[in-house]
Amino acid sequence: MIKKRLLLSLIASLAILFSAVTIQPSVSKAQTTGHDPVIFIHGAGGIGASFYSIENYLKTQGWTDNELYPIEMQDKTGNNQNNAKQLASYVDEVLKKTGKSKVDIVAHSMGGPNALTYILKDGGGNKVNDVITFGSPNKMVTSVAPLGTDPNHKILYTSIYSSGDYVVNNWLSPLKGAKNVQISGTDHLGMLMNSDVNKLIKEGLNGGGKNTN
């Protein structure tokens, strides 16, 4: 009787071991999709932590900590030449770390012109998928959303601006070829903690921007 129990136990153990070796667990959709890493660019006098609210919102929508990268600009004046060069190095570091080929960019205020300068002049033309700016004086750099230099992909743009923004003139924000959205009820800094802005950023990161050039 004891020998029979030992035999049955051995058979059961072998069956479990065989199953573990031959049956592979299925991979969930969340494990196979993922997002492009998101680079957050603050404005003049700003800090990377100013995107705290937006980052938390995106994490409730499926983004993870290792997909969100707020850059801390060394030049707090918003200087395009200096910041675009720092951004170029930072993007390369993030791409190497994540193994991705392109990033998305979310930029507030002077972060928008910094991003556009990077795309146009500092090697970002083939390293960016989606660009979302808000409260940004984009026309300081260009009035047309740059297509990028990747022949197989056009960069998509969303420009968000508020009628209550008294820091950046609304005229400076829209770009030809971008999805331009005017909102109300918030000021320049308030856009960093606004539910409408959050939703528009999410849409832009999911390919909801536009570039028809």
Cβ-count burial 63-99 (b if 16+ within 10 Å, e if not) = beeebbbbbebeeeebbbeebbbbbbebbeebbeebe
Q: Please state the rounded mean pLDDT for residues 63-79.
A: 97
Task: Give the amino acid at 72.
Answer: E
**The predicted structure's pLDDT at residue 211:** 82
Looking at every residue in the chain, the average pLDDT score rounds to 87
**The predicted structure's pLDDT at residue 210:** 87
> CA–CA separation, 85 vs 105, rounded Å?
15
**The predicted structure's pLDDT at residue 165:** 98
Residues acting as catalytic residues: 109, 165, 188
Q: Could you report the per-residue pLDDT of 3-16, keeping only the tens digit for each?
A: 334 333 433 443 33
Q: Using a pLDDT cut of 70, give the percent of the chain over it.
A: 84
Q: Where are the chain's structural domains?
A: 34-208
Predicted TM-score (pTM) of the model is 0.84
Superfamily of 34-208 according to CATH: Alpha/Beta hydrolase fold, catalytic domain (3.40.50.1820)
**The predicted structure's pLDDT at residue 29:** 28
Per the model's pLDDT, the better-predicted residue between 193 and 14 turns out to be 193
Residue with tokens 């980052």: 55
Confidence of residue 212 (pLDDT cuts 50, 70, 90): low
**The predicted structure's pLDDT at residue 157:** 98
Q: Are strands 68-71 and 38-41 parallel, antiparallel or unpaired?
A: parallel
Q: Could you report the per-residue pLDDT of 131-180, keeping only the tens digit for each?
A: 999 999 999 999 999 999 999 999 999 999 999 999 999 999 999 999 99
**The predicted structure's pLDDT at residue 18:** 33
**The predicted structure's pLDDT at residue 112:** 98
